[in-house]
Amino acid sequence: MIPLAPARRPAHQIRLSRRLASLTGWTLTGACLFALAALMVWILEVVFVRGVTALRLSVLTTITQGTGGGLLNAIEGTLVLSAGALLLAVPFGVAAGIYTAEYRFTRWATTIRFLADVLVGVPSIVVGYFGYVGMVEWLGWSFSVAAGSIALAIISLPYICRTTELALRQVSNDLRDAAYSLGANDRRVILGVCLPAALPAILTGVLLALAVSVGETAPLLYTAGWSNYLWDGHLTHSPIGYLTYAIWNFINEPFAEANALAYAAALLVTGFVLIINIAARFMLDRRARR
Amino acid sequence: MRAMKFRAWLALIAGILPATLAAIVLFLAFYSWPAMHFNGLGFVVRDTWNLGNLYANPIMRHGTQVQPGATYGILFLIVGTLLSTLIALAIALPMGIGAAIFLAEAVPERLRLWISFFVELLMAIPSVVFGLWGYVVVIPFLGHHFYPLIAQSLGKAIPFFAAPTGSGYGLLTAGIVLSLMIVPIIAATLRDALVSQPASLREAALGLGATRFEALWKVMLPGTRKTLIGATFLALGRALGETMAVLMVSGNALNYLPHRIYDPVSTMAAFIVSQLDSALQDPTGLAVRSLAEIAFVLAIISIVVNALARLLLLVWNNSQRSVVV
């Protein structure tokens, strides 16, 4: 339906000061948007141009040696830590999301939803320091995959919970009614009907949580530590490298080859995060159009 | 019966979220208890962080083992955190509002999706990449070209902006980088709110003879005031706890209150990262516990700010929907 266009006065009948104010308004707001987009382009330009210059095959295939070498250990570590975080966070996060979506009017669901939103806002360094004093020191795990993964899992848990909830809410209530009227109980309705219907959207949410944990630094600095070597397979008492540490540490070194490693790591992390976000956007878009 | 059991299991598993939050707060409180006892309330008003003489034997003070001369105060961190957040908000608010208005009202609908997606991708860029960008290109640019300009113009009138402008590391740089990280939160939330305002509002305003911008500015925008306040609190919470980017561009000042907007500062979050290595040199362990006290204070502040933001968005919007950021 085309809305009726309201009758408008011709421009010359509007006082000049009002026309000027409007023009200024559009110009300023447009400038804000343009500035934001330009800054985004600037960041991407710095990361991609310097990153591509620094990226060599040897960076992907060799381990770090002092301030040079490659990033194989960091790439492996980022994958191990993020996979560990997802392994821990997905079952709990999805279950919590199911509860807050399917029993959304209970007081407990409201509380969980609210606290998940609050937990998203807890600074990642607080989670990291909690991991340090709690797991590294108090439990005596020292810098380790276990401590790093749990810290990352705490960060991604509320994301997964909330995206699962939003995904389940997209499922039409007719589907639930139909299943209940066929005599299914809560469990059958949720696990057999709602969850499969919401699965693509839930997976998108999990992917976005993966992007977040790949880009995190602060929770890992004092839980995972850093290592120049490949992971030895131990869950505790053995530090592990990761890409974001390489960015932070190697950009502060005075050597060109160390800086190159930082740029390469930044390219890998940013590229991965952007690809996931763009893919998630396309997935959500296609579903919305259907 | 079976259904009840299923539901109870789900409820129990969902309890891991409150349990995690409680564990973080309680454990940090428990761990930093000796430090809280030793530092007292003066922790937040003293502006000296001093580990004391690390080569001397520990002495007893107030029933706690400490190195001689040790004092822990974080006033300079609180000032640094508040000022950098304030600067970030002062830049991000007008910029976010402007961008949201233009996106919602002036950009054609087909383009709007893609442009807002591109701008909101800023939210996905990792903090350490912002730090890298700030460290490598923004600091030299601001330090050499932009700050001398401000000092020569604005600095003439207001001493806080006067020269020397330093090397580019410092409060203003931290605020500028932070502002870019929180702008998308404000822009995205406000754009959503503007788009979902009823079209009849605008039509009524236009019918009364308002220009399109007047309809927007005087009718549509006031209707989103509450959402805007909620989003601002969210952005505030994010800026207060931001770590890596601030760490890389703020200059990491110690025991120093900024006299000029270009001076180096440090924030509570960045300080925890930059000081742990030296805190570990304290044989009594009190320094590590005092850092835990900072983490505890930061946790409480961010929980209060975020809880307020969510409550405002929840109660005012009267909807269950919320932006996950």
Q: What is the CATH number of the domain that holds A184?
A: 1.10.3720.10
Q: How far apart are CA A241 and CA A64, in angstroms?
A: 9
Number of domains in chain A: 1
Cβ contacts of A285 on chain B, cutoff 8 Å: 113
Contact B132, A266 (CB under 8 A): yes
Q: How far apart are CA A95 and CA B8, in angstroms?
A: 11
Query: CA-based angle A194:A197:A200, to the nearest 5?
Result: 130
Residue B179 pLDDT exceeds 50: yes
Any CB–CB contact under 8 A between A47 and chain B?
Answer: yes
The per-residue pLDDT for A282 is 86
Contact B98, B218 (CB under 8 A): no
Domain assignment present for A2: no
Q: What is the mean pLDDT of residues B43-70?
A: 82
- Choose among A79, A170, A137, A262: nearest CA to B288: A137
Any CB–CB contact under 8 A between A32 and chain B?
Answer: yes
- CB within 8 Å: B119 and A6: no
Residue B324 pLDDT exceeds 60: no
- Dump pLDDT digits (tens) for A147-176: 999 999 999 999 999 999 999 998 889 999
ipTM exceeding 0.85, yes/no: yes
Q: How far apart are CA B261 and CA A250, in angstroms?
A: 28
Residue B173 pLDDT exceeds 90: yes
Nearest-Cα distance to chain A for B146, in Å, is 16
The per-residue pLDDT for B322 is 43
- Choose among A43, A27, A41: nearest CA to B98: A27
Cβ contacts of A187 on chain B, cutoff 8 Å: 2-3, 6
- Dump pLDDT digits (tens) for B280-298: 888 888 899 999 999 999 9
Q: What dihedral angle (degrees, nearest 10) is formed by the CA atoms of A216, B304, B275, A230?
A: -20
Structural domain including A206 reads 73-289
Cβ contacts of A111 on chain B, cutoff 8 Å: 18
Measured in whole angstroms, how far is the alpha carbon of residue B163 from the centre of its chain? 27
The per-residue pLDDT for B2 is 57
Residue A5 pLDDT exceeds 80: no
What's the token pair of residue A149? Answer: 């993964």
Residue B90 pLDDT exceeds 80: yes
Cis amide linkage into residue B58, ω under 30° from 0:
no
Give me the CATH code for the B24-317 domain, please: 1.10.3720.10
Residue B6 DSSP SS3: helix
B50: enclosing H helix or E strand: strand B49-50
Q: What dihedral angle (degrees, nearest 10) is formed by the CA atoms of B251, B254, B259, B261?
A: 20
- Dump pLDDT digits (tens) for A67-92: 888 899 999 999 999 999 999 999 99
Nearest-Cα distance to chain A for B130, in Å, is 8
> Which of residues 206 through 235 in chain B touch A, CB cutoff 8 A?
206-207, 209, 211-214, 216-217, 234
- Dump pLDDT digits (tens) for A173-194: 999 999 999 988 888 899 999 9
Residue B98: partners with Cβ closer than 8 Å, 6 or more residues away? A28, A29, A30, A31, A32, A33
Q: DSSP string of A197-257? A: HHHHHHHHHHHHHHHHHHH--HHHHTTT---SS---S-SSSB----HHHHHHHHHSSS-HH
Domain assignment present for A82: yes
C-alpha dist (Å) from residue A290 to A164, B11, B248: 20, 33, 45
Domain assignment present for A258: yes
Domain assignment present for A64: no
C-alpha dist (Å) from residue B130 to A40, A223, B44: 10, 22, 29
